[in-house]
Amino acid sequence: MGRVGGGCVRIHIHGSDEIRSSEITPERIYMNRRRFVGRAAKLAAAAAVSPSLLACGPSPGRSEELDDAGHQSGGVGPSGAGGRSGIQERDWSAVRSELDEPLTPYDDVTTYNNFYEFGTGKTDPARNAHTLRPRPWSIAVEGEVARPAVYDLEDFVSPHRLVDRVYRLRCVEAWSMVVPWRGFPLADLIRRVEPTGKARFVEFTTLHDPEQMPGQRRGVLDWPYVEGLRLDEAMHPLALLATGVYGRDLPNQNGAPLRLVVPWKYGFKSLKSIVRLRLTEEMPATAWAVAAPREYGFYANVNPEVNHPRWSQARERRLGQLRKRPTLMFNGYAEQVEQLYAGMDLSRSF
Amino acid sequence: MASSARRRRAAAKAAVWASALTPAAWLIWRATHGELGANPIEEVLHRTGWWGLVLLTTTLAITPVRRLTGWHPILRYRRLAGLFAFFYLTLHFSTYLLLDQWLAWKYILEDIAERPFITVGFAAWLLLLTLAITSTRGWIRRLGVRWQRLHRLIYLVSALGVLHFYWNVKADTREPLIFAAVIGLLLLARLPAVQRAVSRARAGPALRAGRHVAER
């Protein structure tokens, strides 16, 4: 793991004016400044925003990034607020991925979920997740960071500008979706909490509360659900901390109020309902790798050439389509992420 | 008298057919009403496989239930239950071939050769096919004593079916383990020692009292 990059982090830090500002500005003032900047940007953009901008056509680079102007930087707010009006303004049917794939319908995205905290059936989470209370919510940032702290959700999210991104989601079970997430780059958060020189991994933890998550009363997995990324993976601009989907706040079954989205990895890496981030020197013991180490590794990069021991990963079924399609290397994000794994044997580090 | 017995038998048969076909009818209703959820092909695969296992279990239960209750007419439905199991598992296998794979033989052959849970499921279906073909009166006559030996393969089919289910789930093994437990019990019930114990228990308190005296 020697290649894991403190170096990479430093590059990002030096490339970021914001983090330098925060280094010399007390946090409270810094966050207020960010909020002010966000509001200003919102006002400036308000005149320009129009639904037509949102139907992103094929264009070079990251065309999956929808126009996010006009969306508040002021946190997710109480349920709805900006979100609900957003869904009405936007013609989601015109939104497509950068490979020109249509979005998976909202109903499918929110009724077909793997979220074992609410049951192991695909429709269990939509049925059972009403017991989750996503407000109030707090998130602890611990470990190898300059300023460990416990944040209220609002304070955690509000310094960041929310963006809408359309990503493919490929489950390890060989089905996939195309989902318009709303969130902010994980890298921005990590810069904000200032990793120490020792930090090499980020460990994420889902809420552990059998009262709210009845599925945790059965030991299907070793609760709480833990996931992790190498720090350079976490700093990759595609990695997102999502607070919403389809322009709304995340429904409980999709991981309210805050979840990870790492589109080039199998879906189980993108854990839901996060309560803790810990920066560590050691590779975190992640839920599925603990449950079945022969079948699930730490990396879990989407890879059509490395089969699951029990089934093929060469093809996948896109929900809503009859025929299977070939699975793409790194779920179609190879161009953006393959350099993270240069020199690694991906059949061993699966 | 005879005609009323015949009528009762016809009604019972109709009830058996109706209940065995209900899951299929329900599946068709859901399919035509868009109620199969976000991944309908997977849903059809899982449901047909699940009902196939239930009917295999039912088939295996008939002989022990007859022994336990002494209700012999139930035997009449053993073949029917087995054929309904074959019906659901054939739907299950066809769904895999047609809707899941679209007859992509390259992948199908790879699956059967390289994925143990599919190898096992395919083997179980082939065996069950053999049993379905030889379930007619003609074959029973032709095979004589060998027929019964051949049809004991239903034990193997059930075991392979449960293994197929068990190997297919990711972490929640509760359902396949319940099937394994029930089928295991039904197979145990066929051991001669268990059968003797059951018939002793059925012989009632009188016999037990007698033995009690004898043991002294």
DSSP A60: T
From chain A, the residues in CB contact with B170 under 8 A are 173
**What per-residue confidence (pLDDT) applies to A72?**
37
A112 and B171: CB-CB below 8 Å? no
Q: Are A50 and A90 in contact (CB under 8 A)?
A: no
**What per-residue confidence (pLDDT) applies to A93?**
85
Distance CA B105, CA B90 (A): 18
Which B residues 20-59 touch A at CB under 8 Å? 37-39, 41-42
Interface contact B11, partner A, CB < 8 A: no
A122 and B38: CB-CB below 8 Å? yes
pTM confidence score: 0.81
**What per-residue confidence (pLDDT) applies to B143?**
96
From chain B, the residues in CB contact with A221 under 8 A are 171
**What per-residue confidence (pLDDT) applies to B3?**
83
| Residue A169, token pair as written in the block | 């989601």
CA distance B99 to chain A (A): 7
Which of B170, B177, B178 best tests the A interface by mutation, with the highest count of A CBs <10 A?
Answer: B170
A123 and B168: CB-CB below 8 Å? no
**What per-residue confidence (pLDDT) applies to B198?**
79
Q: Are A231 and A202 in contact (CB under 8 A)?
A: yes
Of A112, A291, A292, the CB nearest to B39: A112
Of B107, B115, B171, the CB nearest to A220: B171
Ramachandran region, residue A136 (left: φ > 0; alpha: ψ -120 to 50; beta: rest) = beta
State the DSSP string of B152-177: THHHHHHHHHHHHHHHH-SS--HHHH
**What per-residue confidence (pLDDT) applies to A181?**
98
Of A116, A122, A218, the CB nearest to B37: A122
Per-residue pLDDT of chain A (350 residues; tens, 9 = 90+): 334 333 333 333 333 333 333 333 343 443 444 444 444 444 444 433 333 333 333 333 333 456 443 333 333 333 333 344 445 567 888 899 888 999 999 999 999 999 999 999 999 999 999 999 999 999 999 999 999 999 999 999 999 999 999 999 999 999 999 999 999 999 999 999 999 999 999 999 999 999 999 999 999 999 999 999 999 999 999 999 999 999 999 999 999 999 999 999 999 999 999 999 999 999 999 999 999 999 999 999 999 999 999 999 999 999 999 999 999 999 999 999 999 999 999 999 99
ipTM over 0.90: no
Question: Domain spanning A6-341: which superfamily?
Answer: Oxidoreductase, molybdopterin-binding domain (3.90.420.10)
**CB under 8 Å to B73, separation ≥6 — which residues?**
B9
From chain A, the residues in CB contact with B171 under 8 A are 116, 120, 220-221, 291-292
